[in-house]
Every structure is written in C-alpha cells, then in structure tokens.
Amino acid sequence: MFIGENPIHINAEKGSIAEIVLMPGDPLRAKYIAENFLTEAKEVCNLRNMLGYTGFYKGVRVSVIGSGMGMPSMGIYSWELFYYFNVKKIIRIGTCGVVSEEVEVPELILATSAYSESNFAYTFDNYDKHITYPSKDLNELIIKKSKELNYKLHVGDITTMDVFGPYIDYDRVLNRIPKNLNVIGEEMEAFALFHIASHFKREASCILTAVDSKFSDVVLSGEERQNSLNEMITLALEAIISE
C-alpha cells in the first residue's frame, strides 16, 4: 500500500483544517456556508475546485469542505481528512430522495444506518456486510439540538446508491433491502463516510434535506430549497460544536 507524506487530493496546509468538519457534496455549498455562517472564514483548499474553508461558528473553529458525488469521492476526501489532518468528527450535509410516505419535502432526515449494495467497503478492507452506521453520540447531539431549535427531524435508515436514483427504476433496489430496515431516504455518499470513520475510530453522521419524493409532485422553489438547506446547516453546526 502506498501512502505518501502529503495528501493527493486536498491541498491544504497542515493545521489549516479544524478537527470538526461539515461536508456538503457541492463545493459551492461549502463556499456558501463559509460566507454566510462562519466568521473569519478562509479558503484552505481548492484543488480540482473541491473548495474548503475554515472559520469560526460561535467561537468554535470549524471547517467545511466539499465531498463531491458518490462513494469513491466521499471515500477519498474523508480518508484524507481523517488520516492527514486528524479530523475527529464529520457531518455530511446533503440532499436526498424520499422513499417513504413518512417524510415530506423539504423535511430533514438523520441517518441511523446506511444500507448499500456497493462493494465499496469490501474493496476497502474486506468488510462484507451491506450496512454501515454513524456515531451514536453524534446522532444523539443532533437529535437534542433539533428539539432545541424546534426543527422537525425524521430519524431512520437510508440507502446509499451507486447510481442517481431518479434516473433508474430504483424500486428494484428498494425491494431487495431487508424488511427489518426502515429506509426513508436514498442518497449516494453516507455508506462510505460511515465506513471510513469507523476504520479510523472517528465520529461521523449524516443529515439530509429531502428535495424530491416518489410519493409527491412537490418541486421546491429556489427560496424554499435554500431555507430548508439553511435549517440543515444550522442544525449540523449547532451539533458538531456541542460536547
């Protein structure tokens, strides 16, 4: 195995990334968070336009860095954050499709597990199960903060797909998921994040904003989408700075 002294994909200086990190998929959302939620924010990485920033939220040093789309991209960036920058906690903040009538657009979801048919974890370290888990302690903080903020938060299992759900008949996949799982949303990164975090014995969670649903024709306006994303961002920041 080849591991160099410096990361290949994150061109940040050592010490420039905080121990707690928010990871949206879109690097431009990282820029938005830095400009609108953090103080004294500075760009710390930009290789391949995967933007990352470090600043302060309520006096606590926080970084926000894009993950890109899909498990391979999330796997690369989370691995480098844990290994090279000694990151302790990561919360993925993303969007998802709803696969349960329990959840309406644009409500929030907290993942209690991520089920996937992917071989990502098996390729990584021979982990041959199809489910990975977030940090229970971090999830508990997120649930606690959601109540304090009076945000509606659905808590349940999600599925992490190798393909973009709306482009396929993903009912085929959903029908293969074990019936004991209460899958309420589908996305593309959390399974990998949870597995990499577990490998390093670090903490990771995933909060998602529901942006479309197989049970609804609701299409969010730009303002509605932004407001719902702001709730997710606020919840993640409040939780990740808590002890």
pLDDT tens-digit map of 73-112:
999 999 999 999 999 999 999 999 999 999 999 999 999 9
In a domain, 62, yes or no: yes
Q: Which of 207, 8, 220, 218 is nearest to 95 (CA)?
A: 207
Q: Write the CB contacts of 83 (distance below 8 Å, at least 6 apart in sequence).
A: 3, 7, 200
What's the rounded mean pLDDT across residues 190-196?
A: 98
pLDDT at 207 (0 to 100): 98
Per-residue pLDDT for 229 more than 80? Answer: yes
Q: Which residue has the higher pLDDT, 1 or 33?
A: 33
Domain count of the chain? Answer: 1
Where does the pLDDT of residue 171 fall: very low under 50, low under 70, confident under 90, or very high at 90 and above? confident
Residue written as token pair 């004991």: 180
Q: Which structure tokens are listed for 12? A: 């940040």
- The CA distance from 202 to 184, in Å, is 25
In a domain, 5, yes or no: no
High-pLDDT (> 70) share of the chain, %: 98
First-last CA distance in the chain = 36
Where does the pLDDT of residue 185 fall: very low under 50, low under 70, confident under 90, or very high at 90 and above? very high
Coil, strand or helix: which one is 89? strand
Q: Which structure tokens are listed for 146? A: 């959601």
AA letter at 141: L
pLDDT at 89 (0 to 100): 98
AA letter at 80: E
Q: Which of 67, 61, 53 is nearest to 240 (CA)?
A: 61
Per-residue pLDDT for 2 more than 80? Answer: no
| Burial zone of 147 (CB within 10 Å; 0-12 exposed, 13-18 middle, 19+ buried) | exposed
Q: For residue 157, what are the domain limits?
A: 20-240
Where does the pLDDT of residue 223 fall: very low under 50, low under 70, confident under 90, or very high at 90 and above? confident
Where does the pLDDT of residue 222 fall: very low under 50, low under 70, confident under 90, or very high at 90 and above? low
pLDDT for 43-79, tens place per residue?
999 999 999 999 999 999 999 999 999 999 999 999 9
In a domain, 3, yes or no: no
Strand partners, 18: none
Question: Whole-model pTM?
Answer: 0.96
Rg (CA), the chain: 17
In a domain, 26, yes or no: yes
In a domain, 90, yes or no: yes
pLDDT for 132-165, tens place per residue?
999 999 999 999 999 999 999 999 999 999 999 8
- Cβ neighbours of 162 (radius 10 Å): 15
Active site residues: 212
Instruction: Please provide the average confidence, as pLDDT, over all residues in the chain.
Output: 94
Q: Which of 97, 110, 99 is nearest to 155 (CA)?
A: 110
Are 17 and 87 spatial neighbours (Cβ–Cβ below 8 Å)? yes
pLDDT at 42 (0 to 100): 98
pLDDT at 166 (0 to 100): 85
The β-bridge relationship of strands 89-98 and 52-57 is unpaired
Are 75 and 194 spatial neighbours (Cβ–Cβ below 8 Å)? no
Per-residue pLDDT for 1 more than 70? Answer: no
In a domain, 9, yes or no: no
Torsion over CA of 152, 216, 175 and 140, rounded to 10 degrees? -10
Q: Which structure tokens are listed for 237? A: 């920041």
Per-residue pLDDT for 225 more than 80? Answer: no
Q: Which of 78, 103, 108 is nearest to 91 (CA)?
A: 78
In a domain, 8, yes or no: no
In a domain, 2, yes or no: no
Which CATH number belongs to the domain containing residue 164 in this structure? 3.40.50.1580
